[in-house]
Amino acid sequence: MSQSHPAGTSGQTATLGDLAGQLSQQISTLVRDELRLAQAELTAKGKRAGIGAGLFGAAGVIAAYAVGALIAAAILALAGPVADWLAALIVGIVLLAAAGVAALVGKSAVSKAAPMAPTEAMAGVKKDVNAIKPGRS
């Protein structure tokens, strides 16, 4: 008459230490596999983001040339009623004023974004660590 044993025990009862060791090994393997998966996913997303960023860069260069052409058109349009140098001066002053406004708005937005540390994520990690520590809840 043969005894039936759970798979992998070979007739021996696993000790608590053996089970803890197996659990530790399985958790370690799981974490490594998850990290590999995350790395592969981020690599694929990074490639797509790089292509997108390149296309945005190309669009920016083309837009810069278009803005230059529009500025030249504005100068030429003003050059009819006023002197050429005055037309260029007027357009230049308007552009500097627009740049100043954009700089002030940008400075305000950057000030509101500070501090750059991910404070909400850090608080969440601290909460998780405290929940895991023995004797704390």
Q: Is 7 helix (H, G, I), strand (E, B) or coil?
A: coil
Residues 6+ apart with CB under 8 A from 82: 90
| pLDDT of 2 over the 50 cut | no
Which residue is listed with tokens 């520590």? 133
pLDDT tens digits, 63-80: 999 999 999 999 999 998
> Residue 3 and residue 11: Cα distance in Å, rounded?
8
Structure tokens at 57: 């860069």
pLDDT tens digits, 6-56: 555 555 677 888 888 888 888 888 888 888 888 888 888 888 889 989 999
| pLDDT of 104 over the 50 cut | yes
Q: In this predicted structure, what is the pLDDT of residue 124?
A: 77
Domain ranges of the chain: 18-81, 83-137
Q: In this predicted structure, what is the pLDDT of residue 95?
A: 94
Q: Answer with the residue of higher pLDDT: 57 or 111.
A: 57
Q: In this predicted structure, what is the pLDDT of residue 11?
A: 52
**Checking phi first, is residue 8 left (phi over 0); if not, alpha (psi -120 to 50) or beta?**
left
> Residue 94 and residue 100: Cα distance in Å, rounded?
10
Q: In this predicted structure, what is the pLDDT of residue 133?
A: 73
Q: Collect contacts of 41-45 with beta carbons under 8 A, ≥24 apart.
A: none
Structure tokens at 115: 């501090």
Residues 6+ apart with CB under 8 A from 137: 131
> Residue 40 and residue 46: Cα distance in Å, rounded?
10
> Residue 33 and residue 38: Cα distance in Å, rounded?
9
pLDDT tens digits, 45-55: 888 889 989 99
